[in-house]
Structure 1
Amino acid sequence: MAITSRNRLRGGQLVILITFIDAMSSCWFGYCQGVFAGVLVSPDFLKLFPEFNNGSISGAVTGSFFIGAFVGAIVAFILGDRLGRKNTIIAGHILNTVGAALQTSAYSLPQLVVGRTLNGIGIGITSTMSPVYLGECVKPHLRGRLLVIGASSNVSSFALANWISYALAFRSGAIQWRLPLAIQLIFPFLIFPIAPFVPESPRWLLLVGRDDEAKQVISKLNNDSITGDSVLADYNSIGASIRLERSHRVPLMDVLRNRDKTQNLRRLILSCGTQFMQQFTGVNSLGFYLPTLLHESVGYDLQTSRLLAAVSGTIYFIAAFFALAVVDRVGRRKLMLYGSILTAACHLISSLSLRAAQEDPSRAKTVGSKRFRMGFHNLTVPQFGSVTVAFFVIYHAVFAPTWAGIPWVYAAEVNSIGWRTRGAGAATATNWITGFAVVQFTKVGIDNLQWAFFLIFAILCVSFFPVVYCFYPETAGRKLEDMDEMFLRNPSWFVFGKKELTQPTRPQAFIDAELARISDSQVTIIEVTPDKLEKM
């Protein structure tokens, strides 16, 4: 019965299931990022693990998740083309499950560290491979929106983790931190039962020479017969693109010297660059330490800090879905440009408001009759602290539809099929290692630089604008096979001023190039028109 049901799933049904797996993988990813911030301020947790009162140990254990995720991304880089997209994702989720179980049941620091590290390795694998898998299975006019659903799911579970943390703040005992960690174990019960019903990526199947299986999968995804025009067009186009890529293949050292015509090194650097820029907008500084910042640096009591973090996470979640309406219409490039300027403005205003509070103590007021140490003197909570909180919230509203999802979409699109898992793996590894660095220096930076710490992020965000403007081509509206054509036709690293590289709609030149690939493939002869290609 299961086999029969599996064979009957076609077209939109399969796309929904594949998107669901990507979304649940992203949910687990986002939940892991958000849940530990609440755990770190739980009194019962700190009583059981007093080592976390030491900032260095707290940072190292928190950072073990990032180190694990970095390792996981490298594993995906190495194994993604050997195991296949689907099997690699399943392997990652098995590690997630073991890691979550170890954390939930932890009574010693080594067990907690091992659990967080294994969880990180699993998340590193799935966060690399899941967007690649989805991107290789869906049509270009849906790809951006469906990938953004995954990124938005990440944000929604991040917000959920904050609300769970706030709700349990009113409870005492181990449930306050063990239950949030245990909730992670819901995700495998949602993912594993669906995995047998979804196919392997057709592009990977063609890449490893399993042509008949690839044609069957394309037929199911297109909801067309195996001899249908749309199936043959996609099959021929992907196959011709792989052969074209192989005809330009050069030794690895030549790739690293950027001597291959398809410019795989340049594309890998672009992928890594988006993730580097995402982390240095400061999102994980707030993601992991916002309750701590609000409590220790702005002066709110612990419950209010948790509540404000949850509210900020909810606005983050709502804003993330705005990207669904604009990611394909506006394009990846413009969203990164807009995001750079707006996030810089948020950090700048946050910095200046904290500075104003420091320089004019007469503007201070008491919140909950508590005083606090902002790292520079014993002051009461400044009125401008409220401005700082407001712009932390606005920051999340701006970041969500711009830098939150676009780097994951971009890395899944811009690389060639032979380098797609490598490019995505390198990009994800960049995300995690830079995230680790940001988390490590956040607390030290606030303690030593005070208000100027957020000014660093403001300057970095402004610097990202010319980088994107000069070097990043648009990937919206293109088929994945268009990417090789784009880099073959435009060897210069500079893209500004070139409409073909910056417009969010598919250029006619790429449609013509696909017609030529299909014609030259000689696999089969079918009548394919530009109108048909736009619909496929």
Structure 2
Amino acid sequence: MLEGYPLEIALTTANSAAQAWYGYDQASLGIIAGILISDHFLDHFPQVKKPVLEGTFVSIFSLGNLLGCLASALFGDKLGRKNTLRVGAGISAVGAILQFSATSFVQLMIGRVINGIGNGMTSSTCGVFQAEASKGSRRGKLSVIVVTHNVIFYMLGSWLTLATSYLDNDGQWRIPFALQLLPAGFLVGFLFLVPESPRWLLLRDRHEEAIESLRRYLGKGLTADDTIVQDEYKSIRGALEIERQASISFKDVLLRRDRSSNLRRMLLGMGTQFMQQMGGINALNYYFSIILENNLGMSELMARVLTGVNATTYCISTALAFWIIERAGRRFLMLLGLGLQGFAYIMVSIAVAKLPSADQQ
């Protein structure tokens, strides 16, 4: 059995595979932006040429994501972190198979929503699993590593569709869809090597299993009676007891009937994600190639190349956080990113205003 650092690597690899899957195809990140302008895909599914159906094809994956996240919220604490990831991976794999083997637009759409449900379950669970099973001193960096795989595979997906665009057959779009199964395989495979989250085990009052899980995660060669294991066990158990005693309903949180500022904390967490989406990140990733080709008059090749360049800078900037997050702090990095993003929007707006449109060209 793996223990200590090797186990930490296996845990991070499993959760990174879940985020890699999320980055490769979540809500059309990566491959869909390139597939939507593939000749053979459009010939096979001419329905996508209609704006309404194109938007539905892209967004239905997000609907599946939402359902998957809700399923994790409702059943995640009953299933456990590992089983939730396994179920999500299985559902998502079925969706991926339906997509790359699609012979009709209906099958493709069904595959998209099923894939989204599974992806929502895995992507919403892997971060929790990583945080609960990592050492406190390394939790920040390891969480960054996991999230970085999201953008790495977004980048790889963007360049992959450029490579497959040179194929003169259905491989243009079937290969990118089929490769979704690779991170699924890594996720399921590495889950066999790691124990369940010790915090979840204590949540279910499975104390002996929780101690054994902690022993393996905290270091190689430790015993259940070692001080470091017992101290961590007591710390998690104490935190759970406090949570149980202070637990309040969601309605009470919304009506601010508690004294712990839970509403403010919830809104801060939700607000960052909401504002990220309202900043247009996913909309840009969905349609970046289409915007460059149809609205700015660029060639298909140049649109694909710039999509890959955009993905690469996205990846590099995310990776930089790994080296500075513990020194600079979370808040400073978020404010810095916000400032740089605002500056970029101003520059893009000026550039677009100066460029002739596709019709003019």
| Both structures adopt the same fold (TM-score exceeding 0.5) | yes
The residue type equivalent to 1:379 in the other structure is Q
- Alignment-derived partner of residue 5 in structure 2: 12
Q: How far apart are 1:198 and its partner, in Å?
A: 0.7
The residue type equivalent to 1:340 in the other structure is L
Question: How far apart in 2 are the matches of 1:203 and 1:10?
Answer: 17
Question: How far apart in 1 are the matches of 2:334 and 2:159?
Answer: 29
Query: Is the partner of 2:30 in helix, strand or coil?
Result: helix
Q: How far apart are 1:252 and its partner, in Å?
A: 4.2
1:447-466 pair list within 5 angstroms: none
How many residue pairs get matched? 356
The residue type equivalent to 2:292 in the other structure is L
- Alignment-derived partner of residue 104 in structure 1: 100
The residue type equivalent to 1:76 in the other structure is S
Query: Is the partner of 2:328 in helix, strand or coil?
Result: coil
Question: How far apart in 1 are the matches of 2:310 and 2:354?
Answer: 23
- Alignment-derived partner of residue 334 in structure 2: 336
Q: How far apart are 1:330 and its partner, in Å?
A: 0.9
Deviations 1:305-336 (A, max 9, x none): 11121122122222221110111211111111
Whether the 8 Å CA contact 1:28–1:184 is kept in 2: the answer is yes
Consecutive unaligned residues in structure 2, runs of 5 or more: none
Q: How far apart are 1:73 and its partner, in Å?
A: 0.6
Question: How far apart in 2 are the matches of 1:144 and 1:251?
Answer: 30
Deviations 1:445-498 (A, max 9, x none): xxxxxxxxxxxxxxxxxxxxxxxxxxxxxxxxxxxxxxxxxxxxxxxxxxxxxx
Question: How far apart in 1 are the matches of 2:248 and 2:316?
Answer: 46
| 1:152 maps to which of 148, 155, 161 | 148
Whether the 8 Å CA contact 1:249–1:260 is kept in 2: the answer is no
Whether the 8 Å CA contact 2:18–2:122 is kept in 1: the answer is yes
- Alignment-derived partner of residue 122 in structure 2: 126
| 1:278 maps to which of 276, 297, 301 | 276
Whether the 8 Å CA contact 1:46–1:52 is kept in 2: the answer is yes
- Alignment-derived partner of residue 239 in structure 2: 241
- Alignment-derived partner of residue 24 in structure 2: 31
Quick one: percent identity of the two aligned structures? 36
Q: How far apart are 1:297 and its partner, in Å?
A: 1.8
| 2:318 maps to which of 320, 323, 343 | 320
Is 1:42 the counterpart of 2:67? The answer is no
Whether the 8 Å CA contact 1:66–1:120 is kept in 2: the answer is yes
CA gap 1:155/1:251 in 2 versus in 1, 3 angstroms: closer
Query: Is the partner of 1:140 in helix, strand or coil?
Result: coil
Supply the RMSD in Å over aligned alpha carbons.
Answer: 1.4
Whether the 8 Å CA contact 2:15–2:127 is kept in 1: the answer is yes
Query: Is the partner of 2:360 in helix, strand or coil?
Result: strand
Q: How far apart are 1:151 and its partner, in Å?
A: 1.2
| 1:138 maps to which of 134, 141, 161 | 134
Deviations 1:168-203 (A, max 9, x none): 112211011111111111222222222122111111
Q: How far apart are 1:160 and its partner, in Å?
A: 0.7
Whether the 8 Å CA contact 1:248–1:262 is kept in 2: the answer is no
Whether the 8 Å CA contact 2:88–2:118 is kept in 1: the answer is yes
Q: How far apart are 1:227 and its partner, in Å?
A: 1.0
Question: How far apart in 2 are the matches of 1:175 and 1:114?
Answer: 20
Query: Is the partner of 1:179 in helix, strand or coil?
Result: helix
The residue type equivalent to 2:320 in the other structure is F
> Greater relative contact order: 1 or 2 (C-alpha under 8 angstroms, separation 6 or more)?
2
Larger radius of gyration: 1
Question: How far apart in 1 are the matches of 2:266 and 2:75?
Answer: 17
- Alignment-derived partner of residue 205 in structure 1: 201
Q: TM-score normalized by structure 1? A: 0.65
Consecutive unaligned residues in structure 1, runs of 5 or more: 1-7, 359-371, 381-536
Question: How far apart in 1 are the matches of 2:78 and 2:337?
Answer: 36
